[in-house]
């Protein structure tokens, strides 16, 4: 799996709301797996291994499109809950265009 993009950094915020949106080509005939990973950034480094891993959430793009909005618990790499952390991912329906681009925000 490769990294597509990153949100902005929320400094000293226990309940961040990210404004960056991601544009992903939605292909109906293909299962498009996504993983959202959250880190606590304490240094100016862009290397993720230098930051504290808070948890992750995996799903497919099709699940997000059909649900419009999903809120799920963050999980550790072993599938166990990562404390009380939650993530919300939304699909902005007004952004679907003739190129079948999906706009996601987390």
Q: Which domain holds residue 71?
A: 21-40+48-105
User: What average pLDDT does this structure show over 90-98?
Assistant: 58
pLDDT recorded at residue 17: 80
Given a cut of 80, whether residue 50 has pLDDT beyond it is no
In this structure, is residue 12 part of a structural domain? no
**Burial class of 84 by CB neighbour count within 10 A (0 to 12, 13 to 18, 19+):** exposed
Model pTM?
0.72
In this structure, is residue 72 part of a structural domain? yes
In this structure, is residue 1 part of a structural domain? no
In this structure, is residue 15 part of a structural domain? no
Give the separation between CA 79 and CA 62, rounded to whole angstroms.
Answer: 21
Q: Quote the number of domains for the chain.
A: 1
Q: What are phi and psi of 66, to 5 degrees?
A: -75, -25
pLDDT recorded at residue 102: 41
Given a cut of 70, whether residue 98 has pLDDT beyond it is no
Given a cut of 90, whether residue 31 has pLDDT beyond it is yes
In this structure, is residue 81 part of a structural domain? yes
């Amino acid at each position: 799996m490769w990294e597509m993009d990153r949100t902005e950094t929320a400094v000293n915020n226990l309940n961040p709301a990210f404004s960056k949106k991601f544009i992903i080509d939605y292909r109906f005939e293909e299962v498009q797996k996504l993983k959202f990973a959250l880190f606590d950034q304490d240094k100016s480094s862009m290397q993720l291994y230098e930051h504290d891993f808070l948890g992750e959430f995996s799903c497919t793009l099709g699940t997000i499109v059909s649900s419009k909005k999903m809120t799920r618990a963050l999980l550790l790499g072993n599938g166990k809950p990562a404390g009380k952390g939650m993530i919300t991912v939304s699909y902005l329906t007004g952004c679907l265009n003739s190129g079948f681009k999906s706009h996601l925000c987390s």
